[in-house]
Structures are given as C-alpha cells and as structure tokens.
C-alpha cells in the first residue's frame, strides 16, 4: 500500500513562524513534525510515500534528502551516532513529491497524487496531525481494511463542545470500535452533530475517491472538501470508521504543539527529571 501525506497548507494559525517555514517542520523536541508522520507510515509497513507540497515547502524535500556536506563533517569528526541518524532520514522510504499549485482544499491535495496511486487503495496521513500510539494508527486501520475491504476512517470521541472543530460521523456500531458510516458532517454545531465521533487525520481510501473528488463542487474559499467527496463515495461504497487507540495532536493548535513537546520529553530519560523539577518549581511559584 502507498501513502499520501498532504503537506501543502498555509499554516496561518502559526504565523509569523510559518511565514517562511512550513508548520510541518515545526520542531518536536529534536525532529520536525512531518518526520513523525513519515515514520508512522513506515512503521505501518508502507515505504512508498507521496508528500503533497506547495510553494515554500522545499525545506521538507531537503530534510529527507541526502545532506552531503553535513555527512562529510560528521565523518571527519568520527561522530558515528549522529552520522547514522542523519543517514537514516534520507533512507527511511521511497518518497516522491507532487505540488498543489493552489490551496484548493484537502480533497484537491489528495487528488493531485492520483497519477502516483495508479488505481490502488491507499493510506492518507495528514501532515499536521501526529498520533502517538503503541501500534501505529495507520497500521490499526489497515487491519480493519483487511477485514472489510472498504475505505476506513480513523475516529476518536471528542467532547460535545468541540464537535464544531471536526468532521463528525453519523454511524452505527458493528463491532467493538468499528462503525459503519451513514453520513459525514463537516464542523457541525453542537445541536446538529450526529455523534461525538470525530475524524482524526488518518484514512484508508479506495481509488473510487478520485472520481468522487472530480464531482465535488468547491465550497468555502473555493476549496474542495474531502468530507464532501466522502459523502459522494458513500453513495457507491460502504465506508467504515475505527476508534483507534492512541493520542492525537493537532499542529494547527499552538497549545497542542506545546503539549506534545512536553509529553514526549517526559518520556525521555534525558529530560524527564529536569523537566519534572522545572514543572514543580513553576507550579510552586504560582
């Protein structure tokens, strides 16, 4: 299975940081955000990846490319550990790049990868969503795909007051954590939301989605919404949702970016004690 990682968004919620640096390159401790997403795909058994970029995103390509000068310096210093780490990044997978020339929405971003997908079922991992899980989220939904042989959407429960931030599914539960989708509603009001199960940036999609994207009319800001295309797909095929196990962080949210840095740092022995001491000190000064 191939994977598509849309990473062409403007990142306006992180301005001015994202004026000249993509939000997908925001540092999470010592790695850029998009590396976590690529690693999730690889750890799910996918090594053929398409990253959809846009203007000003060349730094993403450079990150996964060979850094000759840096490797030469590390070799001269005999810094084998850092040299190995740098080389692993350029060897992590077969990564291809396509450009979304205009910011025309998530549906359009996925559509520009159509030629590379070549009529196969594929995974989609949003480049600004990081999911930390014992078993990669993408691998979890790939297993559900193997059972149902249909498009799968990763979902999680959110608080009722937060449904306005997400795509929400109307569904019936078939099995523990598995739902058959009846309808998808993009950012409904609290009273209109059919459930509190929210779409969380990971999908397995059949190639029929491309025909549905072609038929989807542009909406707000002239964008082609994936939610609208999925509702068209529902008229042709079954779509299922899976309530995955793990924690999702939205890099469009500044607090989530702070939170993932702190929570992942607390999992690393080199930072844990010092960070806990700092947190206690700050709390005692309040």
Angle between helices 269-285 and 254-265 (to 10 degrees): 120
Closest CA to 36 of 157, 269, 151, 201: 201
Instruction: Give residue 43's pLDDT band: very low, low, confident or very high (50, 70, 90).
Output: very high
Percent above pLDDT 90 for the chain: 72
19 pLDDT tier (thresholds 50, 70, 90) = confident
Burial of 36 by CB count in 10 Å (0-12 exposed, 13-18 middle, 19+ buried)?
buried
pLDDT confidence bin for 181, thresholds 50/70/90: very high
Q: Which pLDDT tens digit goes with each residue over 126-155?
A: 988 999 999 999 999 999 999 999 999 999
Q: What pLDDT is stored for residue 16 in this prediction?
A: 78
Are 44 and 139 in contact by the 8 Å Cβ rule? The answer is: yes
CA–CA separation, 58 and 60 (whole Å): 5
Average pLDDT, the chain: 92
pLDDT value at residue 109: 94
Alpha carbon 19 to its chain centroid, in Å, reads 21
For the ranges 64-73, 151-160, 203-212, 237-246, the lowest mean pLDDT is seen at 64-73
Residue 228: per-residue pLDDT? 94
d(CA 81, CA 56): 31
Query: What's the pLDDT score for residue 184?
Result: 94
pTM, to two decimals: 0.92
The CATH code of domain 2-252 reads 3.90.550.10
């Amino acid at each position: 299975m191939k994977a598509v990682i849309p990473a062409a968004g403007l990142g306006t919620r992180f301005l001015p940081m994202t004026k000249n640096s993509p939000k997908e390159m925001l540092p999470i401790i010592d790695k850029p955000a998009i590396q976590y997403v690529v690693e999730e795909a690889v750890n799910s058994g996918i090594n053929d990846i398409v990253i959809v970029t846009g203007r000003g995103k060349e730094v993403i390509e450079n990150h996964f490319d060979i850094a000759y000068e840096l490797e030469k310096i590390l070799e001269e210093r005999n810094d084998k550990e850092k040299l190995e780490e740098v080389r692993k990044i350029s060897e992590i997978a077969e990564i291809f790049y396509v450009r979304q020339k205009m910011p025309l929405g998530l549906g359009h971003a996925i559509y520009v990868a159509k030629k590379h997908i070549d009529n196969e079922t594929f995974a989609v991992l949003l480049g600004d969503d990081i999911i930390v899980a014992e078993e990669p989220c993408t691998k979890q939904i790939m297993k559900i795909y193997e059972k149902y042989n249909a498009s799968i959407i990763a979902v999680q429960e959110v608080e009722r007051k937060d449904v306005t931030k997400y795509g929400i599914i109307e569904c019936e539960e078939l099995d523990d954590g598995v739902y058959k989708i009846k309808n998808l509603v993009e950012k409904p009001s609290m009273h209109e939301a059919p459930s509190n199960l929210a779409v969380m940036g990971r999908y397995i999609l059949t190639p029929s989605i491309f025909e549905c994207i072609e038929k989807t009319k542009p909406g707000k800001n002239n964008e082609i919404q994936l939610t609208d295309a999925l509702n068209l797909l529902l008229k042709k095929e079954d779509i299922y949702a899976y309530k995955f196990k793990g924690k999702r962080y939205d890099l469009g949210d500044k607090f989530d970016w702070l939170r993932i840095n702190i929570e992942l740092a607390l999992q690393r022995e080199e930072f844990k004690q010092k960070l806990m001491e700092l947190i206690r000190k700050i709390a005692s000064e309040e």
